[in-house]
A and B are shown apart, each in its own frame.
Chain A
C-alpha cells in the first residue's frame, strides 16, 4: 500500500512536469529539452534554501522562478538570436548542468533534517488524523503518506485549473494560437516572439516547480535527476491523450495529470515485476517512440487494407 501511495504521490508531483511539457510541446509546438536542466534547477534551488532553513513555500517558489528564468533564456536564444529551438534547449540544458552544480555546491544535497513541504504536510496529516495509521477498505494507510498524497493532489489540481483558466483568457487564447498558427496571430496583432518566450518561461517554471516538490518528497536533490525527464513528460502527455483524446483544453490538461500518474504506476509495477532499473530510460524512450509512430503506422495499415479490400 505504501508503495502504491508513493507511486501516486510521485505521479502527481511529476504531473506538474507533464503539464510543463504539455505547455511547450502541445500548446507552443516546441519540444523543449531545457526541461532536463530546469527540473534539476528547481530541485537544487529549493534544496539549498531548505537546508539553510528558509520557509519551504518560499524555497519552492524560488525553485519555480529559477526554472522560469531558464525557460526565458531558451526563448530569447530561439526568438532573438534565431537559434533552432531544439538547439537552444540543448544549449541551456548543458549550461544548467554547471549552474546546478554551482547552486548545490556538490552533486547531491540531502534534505533529511530540513523542514520541507513534505514533512510539514505529513505533520499536519498526523495531527489531523491523530494516529500514525488508519484503515481504508481494510488497507492500513500511513497518515503521513496520505497527507502528502493529498497535498500533491491539490497542488496538481490547482495548477491544472490555473492553466485551464489562463488558456481561455484573451492572452491565453492568443498564446494557443501562437503554437497553432503564428502567421495568423501575428496578423491579428500579437507579438509572437514575446508569446513564445513567455510560454517557455511558464513551461519551465512548472517543470522546476515539479523538481522542487520532487526533491522535498524524495529527500534530496541530485545533479543527475533531470536526465531524460523531458521524455518522461512526453510519455505522460501522450498517455493522457490516449486516455481522454486531444479534444478540448480541459480534457487534455486532466489527461496530462492522469497520464503522469498512470505512467508512474506502470513504471512501479514494471520495476516490481523485475524490470532492471537501468533499462528504465530505454524503455521510456521506446515507449514514446512507439506512441509517436504507431498512430501513423496503424493509419497506413488501415489505408492499405481498405485499398486492397
Chain B
C-alpha cells in the first residue's frame, strides 16, 4: 500500500542549522493497517509524515502509495490519495468560511473543481447526517463560520473532512496534542471509529503511550531519523505503556553513553 524506501532529508544542508531529519527510513505499510508512530522530540516522526504528505520533496529514496510512485508529486497532487489532520486545530479548516463550505471543498479533495455550485442539497443532506453523529449539535450550525468553533470541534470536523472521500492513506499528526484531555479523548474515539468503519490505512504520530497501546495494530518507534523499533501483531497487542517507556529510557541511556564516550575521547585525544 504505502512503501517508503530509504528516504533521506536534510534541512539547511551545509549551514550551522543543518538538521538531518530523516536518515534512511524504510517502511512498508499494508492496506488497512493502522500504524502508530512514536519518538522523542526531533526524532523525525512528524518529518516522516510530512515527507509522505509532500510538504517537501525528499533528498533521496522513494515513496510509493496505492500503486503510484509519488516521490516527485507535489503536495496538492498527493492530496488525491491522502487525507490529513494536523496538530494545530487551526490548520485543517478555513476559519472564515462556513462548515458546509469547508466540507464542500473536502468533497472535491484531489478532484477537478469545475464551475458547479459548491453547496448542493445532496451534500448538505448527507453532511447534516454525518455531522449529527458527532453529537456536538453542529448539524444545525452548518452555515456558521468554522472559526467560531472550539479546537476539539474543529479537529473532529477536520477528521470527517479528511475521510469524507475515503483516502488511500490517512495521516494524523499529533492531532490531539493541542486539545484539552476531554476533547482529546473524544477526537481519539472518533478517529478510531472512522478508521475502523472505512478500514483506512493510517499513520498516526502521537506522544501518548496510552494512545499508542490502545490504538492501531502496529507501533514504530523512531530515533534520530531512523526506525528503531517495529512492534506488530501479537507483540504489539502485548505491549503496555511501561514497556514503551522502558524503550525510551534505553534510548536515553544509550544517548548519554554516546555523549560521555565522546567526552572521554575528547578529553583524551583533543
Contacts and interface: CB of A to CB of B under 8 A. Distances in A.
A185 interface: yes
B9 interface: no
A186 interface: yes
Contacts of B114: 169-171
A267 interface: no
Interface residues of A, number: 22
Interface residues of B, number: 35
B80 A189 contact: yes
Contacts of B117: 168-170
B116 A169 contact: yes
B101 A173 contact: yes
Interface string A151-188: 00000000000000010111111101100110111111
B97 interface: yes
B256 to A, nearest CB: 38
Given A169-B115, A170-B115, A189 B109 contact: yes
B113 A192 contact: no
A171 B91 contact: no
B205 interface: no
Contact of B105 (A177, A191, A192): A177
Contacts of B105: 170, 173-174, 177, 185, 188, 190
A121 to B, nearest CB: 30
B109 A188 contact: yes
A288 to B, nearest CB: 21
B2 interface: no
Interface stretch (B71-79, B226-234, B246-254, B262-270): B71-79
A253 B104 CA distance: 22
B24 interface: no
Contact of A189 (B77, B93, B102, B119): B77
- Residue of B101, B111, B113, B116 with most chain A CB atoms under a 10 A cut-off: B113
Contact of B76 (A166, A168, A190): A190
Contact of A184 (B92, B104, B111, B115): B92
B160 interface: no
A171 B113 contact: yes
A191 B76 contact: yes
Nearest to A182: B94
Contacts of A188: 79, 105-106, 108-110, 161
Contacts of A190: 76, 105, 113
Nearest to B75: A186
B95 interface: yes
Given A168-B117, A184-B92, A176 B97 contact: yes
- Residue of A173, A184, A188, A189 with most chain B CB atoms under a 10 A cut-off: A188
Nearest to A194: B76
A303 B97 CA distance: 27
A283 B11 CA distance: 49
Given A170-B115, A170-B116, A171-B114, A181 B76 contact: no
Contacts of A191: 74, 76
B91 A172 contact: no
B118 interface: yes
Nearest to B104: A173
A171 B113 CA distance: 5
Interface in B48-64: 53
A56 to B, nearest CB: 29
Contacts of A181: 90-91, 93-95
A172 B97 CA distance: 12
26 contacts: A166-B115, A168-B117, A168-B118, A169-B113, A169-B114, A169-B117, A170-B105, A170-B108, A170-B117, A171-B114, A171-B115, A173-B105, A174-B108, A180-B94, A180-B95, A181-B94, A183-B86, A186-B75, A187-B75, A187-B84, A187-B92, A188-B105, A188-B108, A189-B77, A189-B110, A190-B105
Interface of B: 53, 74-77, 79-80, 82, 84, 86, 90-97, 101-102, 104-106, 108-111, 113-119, 161
